[in-house]
Structure 1
């Protein structure tokens, strides 16, 4: 983070999932109004809904390069809005909201006194000097992250949440019921990773950028596949031009060829799929070959 964060306001959690759970429980009550970027990681809208909040979606728009419309947020926000949930970079799309957009979100949230929860677990590996954390933009930001994605150490199951003093103190109580404390070995591994993050991120950039080029080259040969290339993020969304339900296609792809994609309909984005492209190069190439083979059957 670019600003100095009080260490008392950074709390370790069980992955970013635990960070999101504790943060949302700390601020959302039954009857609250919550706005959630959509489509996104399901807990960012399902947990508030489970807690009794009214949840409205702020949609990512394909015609805007899978960015949301800031004017739409202005119409969604209410004087009673408690929380705005965003995911930067986006899962499943892989797009990044820039500093200007974050500033506008903060201004809208500030006008009604709402918190902004920003899940930053897919911290982009591209144009990092331009990336801004919501923690550096808005005084009522709640920021979550972990070692699982950008730092490629999901086995550590270590995440964290950054919030102001009041929210941090509430989260401390919730952690007593959801975590108690982190494992000693997990904590040691996480500390080691962050101490050497420059070397780890250098390695991960080679993987992400190299595999994205492989995926792009493959997409360029496929008339039934398109995407908005992810911005230095390890997840992406491909659009499929096929005469079959995407879930049925993905099930058949898995059973017949052993290739796993998450159907876009699971994100309420039909005719597409979430593609994680950061496998080892040989696995990625073989998976794309088999996917292309399955798509070619529609042209016989």
Structure 2
């Protein structure tokens, strides 16, 4: 099996540890362990005592019953038994693709988004056609292009909703059109849903729209806990969940008893965490959009209440050279758009700590002035 290098991950692996001002990340400002355990109201004492009494065995293989029920409650048509715990959303995406895609299958993938969604099917021997996000359509795809790509033997349609790094969101009406097309040929629809909008924009999961819809998600982005490394697959179909169970045994035994219980605590206090994160998104979005409005070398199709954005830069050098020079001279880290096949842009994660965002934008603006002479 051959697979392309993972552009964004390779970049972050090489450069994120040297950054002093990281505005590249796609999660909302990470919670500390203390902040999470404090949500229980007793400074985490009951949580830690519970952990002290737990045996460090494999625990619940698919996730504890409490975890599965809490995740099931996020949907309207997904029973708890059809929730499978994974190693983040990357593990969930891998499980869904690995379980269902075979050599020679035809797959359609939204592009450019998260590279995993099209390069894993390619590595498995599938034919992958790209359904393009279009900058002149506010980074939205054209449903007519999907109709043209669809074949009677199309096995799977892979989406990222909302999309990383562009921040665009496919609404319910649009998703229903996708479902109708998928149903006409019996195709699965897998949607990476880790970027749920927090600005009040309506959001609907593919798992609630389609019996062959598969939602993947995690605690990493909207829930500000990427270090917990807990995600899941969700589907209405018990048959699909059972297929995943077989393949999951080859990729992940369990999430670990500590991570599972921390995930339960986070999901129990979902409302408090999302309230905190909505405040961060609203405050930082204003700072960011105000900066873009006064920066002559930057333009932006604003993300829809999610934690990541795709900033267009008018500069006389390629985006990767720019990002390397910016990091070397200022300590500011961005991800070159070329790592997502979007040259001339950068991924800017504006939902970091507000002081970090402000410092990063100031240094970025100062650095851009060198091209004005």
So what's the TM-score if we normalise by structure 2? 0.79
**Equivalent residue in structure 1 for 2:232, among 149, 160, 163:** 160
User: In the aligned structure 1, how far is the partner of 2:200 from the partner of 2:107?
Assistant: 31
The residue aligned with 1:204 is 277
Could you say what secondary structure the match of 1:68 adopts? coil
Instruction: Find out whether 1:131 has 2:203 as its counterpart.
Output: yes
- Listed as ranges, the matches of 1:16-95 within 5 Å are 16-95=89-168
1:127 offset after TM fit, Å?
2.1
2:214 paired with 1:142: yes
Name the SS for the 1:73 alignment partner.
Answer: helix
Distance in 1 separating the partners of 2:372 and 2:256: 53
**In the TM superposition, what whole-angstrom CA distance separates every residue of 1:39-76 from its partner, at most 9, and x where no partner exists?**
11111001100000000100011111110000000000
C-alpha displacement at 1:2, in angstroms? 4.5
Q: Give matches, 1:1-300, under 5 Å.
A: 1-128=74-201, 130-163=202-235, 164-300=237-373
CA distance in 1, matches of 2:78, 2:295: 47
Q: Does the CA-based 8 Å contact 2:199-2:281 persist in structure 1?
A: no
- Would you say how many aligned residue pairs link Structure 1 and Structure 2? 299
CA RMSD after TM alignment: 0.9
Contact 1:135 1:141 in 2 (8 A): yes
- If each structure's strand is expressed as a fraction of its own residues, which one has the higher value? 1
1: CA distance, partners of 2:199 / 2:191: 19
Q: Which has the larger radius of gyration?
A: 2
Q: Distance in 2 between matches of 1:4 and 1:74?
A: 27
- Deviation per CA, 1:183-211: give whole Å up to 9, x if none: 11100110111111001000001111111
Q: Deviations over 1:118-169 (max 9, x none)?
A: 00001111225x2111111111101100000001111111000012222211
CA distance in 1, matches of 2:358, 2:79: 45
Cα shift at 1:219: 0.7
C-alpha separation in 2, matches of 1:227 and 1:72: 24
Check the 8 A contact 1:26/1:167 in 2, yes or no. Answer: no
Change (3 A) 1:108 1:4: closer
**Would the aligned equivalents of 1:33 and 1:54 in 2 still touch at CA under 8 Å?**
yes
Q: Specify every segment of 5 or more residues in structure 2 that has no aligned partner in the other structure, as ranges.
A: 1-73
1:281 Cα deviation (Å)?
1.3
Say if 2:167 and 2:309, in contact at 8 Å, map to a contact too. Answer: yes
What is the TM-score normalised by the length of structure 1? 0.98
**Bigger relative contact order, structure 1 or 2 (CA pairs below 8 A, ≥6 apart):** 2
Task: For structure 1, list consecutive stretches of 5 or more residues without a partner in the other structure.
Answer: none
Cα deviation, 1:205-262, whole Å, max 9, x if unaligned, reads 1111111111111111101100011111000000011111111001100111111111
Provide runs of 4+ in structure 1 moved above 4 Å. Answer: none
Q: Secondary structure of 1:220's partner?
A: helix
**Does the Cα contact within 8 Å between 2:199 and 2:304 map onto a contact in 1?**
yes
